Amino acid sequence: MQREPKWGHLRDLHSALRLCRKALLWGFPTVQKLGEEIEAQVYQQPGTNVCAAFIANNHSTSAVTTNFNGGQYYLPPHSISILPDCKTRVFNTQKIAKKQREDYLQQMELYEQKKNEVKKTVYTVLHVGDVIRLGQRDSFK
């Protein structure tokens, strides 16, 4: 089983950055302050529509909705959104962290269910006919 929480986000991040490659390699960087602790780093090639933006919310506890390039973007606290065309968000760092937490919790719930099933099975096997009692390891001697 592939460990998606560990590696899946790197695949998605790599894909998002590949969509930005022309702007990152040939564009000119600018920084725009969009609000308190919110900024956009924009890479744009003049005279073309080659553009990529990274919008960052540096506030550690507050989520914000900000306007950028004619659109509104929701930014969770302490996150970065990647917009390879300066319009469409394709990646957000906090959404990945949230998905990882949800996947981890689902795996833990599944693990606990399986563990309880195994305990019930062992308990049933050990108590058939009350021949072997749970906790008595010397029953086989």
Other C-beta atoms closer than 10 Å to the C-beta of 82 total 21
Q: Mark whether 44 and 21 lie in a shared domain.
A: yes
Tally of CB atoms within 10 A around 131: 8
pLDDT of residue 54: 96
What pLDDT is recorded for position 9? Answer: 74
Task: Find the range with the poorest average confidence among 27-31, 68-72, 80-84, 118-122.
Answer: 118-122
Residue 140 CA to residue 101 CA, distance in Å, equals 45
**Residue range(s) defining the domain that contains residue 129:** 98-140
Residues 104, 90: one domain?
A: no
Give tens-digit pLDDT for 83-99. Answer: 999 999 999 888 765 55
Say if strands 64-68 and 71-75 run parallel, antiparallel, or are unpaired: antiparallel
**Could you tell me the pTM of the whole model?**
0.64
So what's the pLDDT on residue 1? 42
Indicate whether 82 and 104 sit together in one domain: no
88 with 117, same domain?
no
Are 57 and 107 in a shared domain?
A: no
In tens, the pLDDT along 37-87 reads 999 999 999 889 999 999 999 988 889 999 999 999 999 999 999 999 999
Say whether both 23 and 49 belong to one domain: yes
Do residues 59 and 110 both lie within one domain? no
Please count the structural domains in the chain.
Answer: 2
